[in-house]
Structure 1
Amino acid sequence: MASTNDLKNGLVLDMGNGLWQVMEFQHVKPGKGPAFVRTKLKNVTSGKIVDKTFNAGTKVETATVDRSDMQYLYHDGTDYIFMDTKTYEQIPVSPAVMGTVPDYLLENAEAMIAQHDGQVLYVELPPSVVLHIAQTDPGLQGDRSTGGTKPATLETGAEIHVPLFLETGTKVKVDTRDGSYLGRVN
């Protein structure tokens, strides 16, 4: 149990209708009336984001979420298998929990796994990863109909848009949050 004065970004609340992570919060003390806390909450299972206002000093139920760095081992056909790098314990993660993470996930890659009561809530990759371009068509000089970009398939199978000068086999840095091209890596 915590007070709304204890809210901080990343804290997970148990609201009765699911687990909600605090994305943003703001203490407001209007000139007239009682103080309140305006928050932006994200449902950890569905990803839905809502705005919620609490009266200042209200008690809220917090959830214990264990975050641990794990290494991705392999995909066994139904689940993705991760290993805790400290205890060597392996845990399966269902494709429903993974979301778009497999688009940027290679074997032996590090990921942060959040668990609550033994249930995996979400998998979080680093903000950017380095991947090879598996296939892309040659860019044509003067082709600017697509804003100077072309589609490219990464080694994981994901498709992103890259500048025209990049070729198959090039290493690129990709933003794991939105799948955007960040730059070429030598």
Structure 2
Amino acid sequence: MASTADFKNGLVLNIDGQLWQILEFQHVKPGKGPAFVRTKMKNVLSGKIVDKTWNAGVKVETATVDRRDMTYLYNDGSDYVFMDGDTFDQISISPETLGDGARFLLENMTVQVSTHEGKPLSVELPVTVELEVTQTDPGLQGDRSTGGTKPATLETGTEVQVPLFINTGDKLKIDSRDGSYLGRVNS
């Protein structure tokens, strides 16, 4: 159990059997009336974000979430298999739990896996990933009708928009949160 005074970003609460992670919180002490805490929380499983106000001093049940660095091994056709580098335990994670991050996942990539009572909740990729361009059309000098970008297919099969000067075989730095091009990596 935790009091509203113990709230901090990232704390996971168990409310009515569902897990909610605190994204933001603010203690408010109005001139008139009792103090309260405003929170913005995200449902760990569904991703739904809600605002909730708590009276100061209220006790709330916390959930134990284990965050571990794990290595992505392979896709067995339906699930993604990860291994804990310390214990060598392997767990399978569904594409629904992995979410959009699967687009940038390479074998032997280290990610952070959050679990609650042995059940995988989420997978956090590094903010930037380095991927090689496997196919892109050559950029034509003077072609600015598309705003100076063209589609490129990465080694994971994901397509992203890149500047015209990028060629097949270039290694790029990509933001794993939104798939945007950040720059070229010098080999």
Could you tell me which amino acid in structure 2 is paired with residue 31 of structure 1? G
Q: Matches of 1:144 and 1:54 in 2, distance apart?
A: 53
Deviation per residue, 1:3-34 (Å, 9 max, x gap): 01111111111111511111111111111111
**2:112 is the alignment partner of 1:112:** yes
Q: Report the 3-state secondary structure (helix = DSSP H, G, I; strand = E; otherwise coil) of the residue aligned with 2:144.
A: coil
Q: Structure 2: how far apart are the matches of 1:128 and 1:106?
A: 13
The amino acid across from 2:182 in the alignment is L
Aligned Cα root-mean-square deviation (Å): 1.0
Q: C-alpha distance in 1, partners of 2:160/2:32?
A: 51
CA distance in 1, matches of 2:151, 2:53: 43
- TM-score of the superposition, structure 2-length normalised? 0.96
1:36 deviation in Å?
1.0
Confirm whether residue 40 of structure 1 aligns to residue 40 of structure 2: yes
Q: Where does structure 2 lack aligned partners over 5 or more consecutive residues?
A: none
Q: Match for residue 19 of structure 2?
A: 19
1:147 aligns with: 147
| Alignment deviations for residues 128-178 of structure 1 (CA, whole Å, 9 cap, x no partner) | 110001111111222222221111111001111111110111100111111
Tell me how far apart the structure 2 counterparts of residues 81 and 169 of structure 1 sit (CA, whole Å): 28
Q: Using the alignment, how far apart are the partners of 1:122 and 1:50 within structure 2?
A: 18
Structure 1 residue matching 2:123: 3-state secondary structure = strand
* 84-93 vs 144-153, which moves further: 144-153
Q: What is residue 89 of structure 2 aligned with on the other side?
A: 89
What TM-score, normalized by structure 1, do the two folds share? Answer: 0.97
Query: For the residues of structure 1 that align with 2:146 and 2:59, how far apart are their CA atoms?
Result: 52
- Counterpart CA distance in 2 for 1:19 and 1:167 is 45
Per-residue deviation, residues 46-68 of structure 1 (Å, max 9, x unmatched): 11111111111111111000010
CA distance in 1, matches of 2:35, 2:146: 51
Q: Could you say which residue in structure 1 is the equivalent of 2:103?
A: 103
Distance 1:33 1:50 in 2: 24
34-43 vs 136-145, greater mean Cα deviation: 136-145
Alignment of 1:1-186 (within 5 A): 1-186=1-186
Question: Can you list the C-alpha shifts for 1:49-107, whole angstroms capped at 9, x where unaligned?
Answer: 11111111111111000010000001111111100000011111111111111111100
How far does residue 119 in structure 1 lie from its aligned partner after superposition? Answer: 0.5
Greater alpha carbon shift after TM alignment, 102-111 vs 135-144: 135-144
